[in-house]
């Protein structure tokens, strides 16, 4: 089956530092990747849609200068949380859509837990 | 029920019971629906999907029912097992937009 990995699985950082999270599709090419954020006991909220080779599309209310997304290849997208603050602490989940698939098909990564002190 | 603040609706069942998890979706134009299972500290896992031209679809131990009239989706799990304990989310997609919108989620607790 289609596998999506994330690295790191968890990270603790100091306030003001930047953190990069990687999302990789291991056995398929993904033209589109998605980044979600999930707070405890809440649902997944879409942050942005990332298309290979083009700029990401951010959802309303998500600061594009704070959450930098790069989708440089068909198997890798990165999310960089710049100048992280405690309120950025959350569970970040990526998903990937295979090149040839139904629009609703998304394979999810295992998530990255970020704690900002 | 509806979640309020940080409280997820919770369904508690005994092992072997049948479980029914409900979801109200928001967009009457949505044409594809998916149920996901999320275990603690993990990403969502696909369970079953259904297109808007269907009202029922069955999988292994799971059945999804779609009522477009009232914008309601349900997931039925037969012979629920402790390993089914997780948070279940419905998600909808309108193919014109191609992004998933997740529902609020329901926590299923299965007692042995």
Query: Using beta carbons and an 8 Å cutoff, which residues of B are at the interface with A?
Result: 3, 6-8, 32, 34, 36, 41-46, 49, 89, 93, 95, 98-105
- The answer to whether the CB atoms of B89 and A41 lie below 8 A apart is no
* Structural domain boundaries enclosing B39: 10-111
**Structural domain contains residue B3:** no
Q: Mind listing the pLDDT tens digit of every residue in chain B (112 residues)?
A: 333 345 789 999 999 999 999 999 989 999 999 999 999 999 999 999 999 999 999 999 999 999 999 999 999 999 999 999 999 999 999 877 778 999 999 999 999 9
**Structural domain contains residue B96:** yes
- The answer to whether the CB atoms of A46 and B100 lie below 8 A apart is yes
**Structural domain contains residue B70:** yes
* A46-64 pLDDT tens trace: 999 998 888 899 999 999 9
| B interface test, pick of A43, A111, A114 with most B CB neighbours within 10 Å | A43
**Structural domain contains residue B55:** yes
**Structural domain contains residue B2:** no
- The answer to whether the CB atoms of B32 and A44 lie below 8 A apart is no
Radius of gyration of chain B (CA): 14
**Structural domain contains residue B66:** yes
**Structural domain contains residue B25:** yes
Whole-angstrom Cα distance, residue B28 to residue A80? Answer: 35
CATH code assigned at B27 = 2.60.40.10
Paired strand residues for B88 = B37, B106
Could you tell me the maximum CA-CA distance found in chain B, to the nearest angstrom? 44
Residue of chain B nearest A90, judged by CA positions: B41
**Structural domain contains residue B36:** yes
Q: How many domains are contained in chain B? A: 1
| B interface test, pick of A57, A103, A111, A112 with most B CB neighbours within 10 Å | A103
Task: Specify the 3-state DSSP secondary structure of B80.
Answer: coil
């Amino acid at each position: 089956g289609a596998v999506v990995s994330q690295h790191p699985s968890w990270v603790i950082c100091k306030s003001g530092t930047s953190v990069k999270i990687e999302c990789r599709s291991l056995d398929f090419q993904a033209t589109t990747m998605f980044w979600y954020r999930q707070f405890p006991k809440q649902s997944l909220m879409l942050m942005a849609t990332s298309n290979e080779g083009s700029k990401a599309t951010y959802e309303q209310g998500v600061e594009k200068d704070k959450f930098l997304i790069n989708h440089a290849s068909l198997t890798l997208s990165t999310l960089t949380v710049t100048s992280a603050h405690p309120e950025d602490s959350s569970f970040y989940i990526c998903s990937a859509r295979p090149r040839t698939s139904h629009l609703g098909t998304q394979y999810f990564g295992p998530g990255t837990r970020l704690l900002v002190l | 029920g509806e979640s309020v603040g940080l409280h997820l609706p919770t369904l508690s069942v005994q092992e072997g019971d049948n479980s029914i998890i409900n979801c109200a979706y928001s967009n009457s134009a949505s044409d594809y629906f998916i149920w996901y299972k999320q275990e603690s500290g993990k990403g969502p896992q696909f369970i079953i999907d259904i297109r808007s031209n269907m009202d029922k679809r069955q999988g292994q131990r799971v059945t999804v029912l779609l009522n477009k009239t009232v914008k309601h989706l349900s997931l039925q799990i037969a012979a629920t097992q402790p390993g089914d304990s997780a948070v279940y989310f419905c998600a909808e997609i309108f193919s014109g937009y191609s992004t998933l919108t997740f529902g609020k989620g329901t926590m299923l607790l299965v007692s042995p």
